[in-house]
Amino acid sequence: MKRLYTAADLTEAYLMRDMLADAGIRSRILNEHAQGGTGEIPFTQAYPELWIEREQDLERARKLVTEFEARTNSDVYVDCPRCGEENPDNFETCWHCGLPLD
């Protein structure tokens, strides 16, 4: 197993695991249960880590992570022409009214 990524939280870790699974890459989350408890969490190594099961997937997985980060860190928004709500520019349909966006 190779460590791919340290996620900020479990939600991000799950998202990324699903994204990798879609690409046919098997991964595991370590420290999955390190968060959510109270008081007894060590300050280090508590972040969920994503590990790739097969080393040959690592390079492809890293590329996906880079793309994932580019998407999630995007602060470019488009206004929906129908309802006016802001959407991240990678959204294909408006989160609010479902109108397809360009």
| 8 A C-beta contact, residue 99 and residue 83 | yes
Say which residues have a Cβ less than 8 Å from residue 41's Cβ, sequence separation at least 6.
34, 35
From 17-25, 50-58, 60-68, 93-101, span contacting Zn ion (CB under 5 A): 93-101
Counting contacts by CB under 5 A, is residue 83 touching Zn ion? yes
Question: Which pair of structure tokens corresponds to residue 33?
Answer: 């249960």
From 6-14, 31-39, 70-78, 80-88, span contacting Zn ion (CB under 5 A): 80-88
Q: What is the dihedral of CA 77, 49, 3, 21, to 10 degrees?
A: -60
Strand partners, 93: 100
Counting contacts by CB under 5 A, is residue 97 touching Zn ion? yes
**Which letter does DSSP use for residue 38 in this model?**
S
Counting contacts by CB under 5 A, is residue 94 touching Zn ion? yes
Counting contacts by CB under 5 A, is residue 8 touching Zn ion? no
Binding-site string for Zn ion from residue 33 to residue 72, where x marks contact by CB under 5 A and - marks none: ----------------------------------------
Chain residues that interact with Zn ion, rule: CB under 5 A: 80, 82-83, 94, 96-97, 99
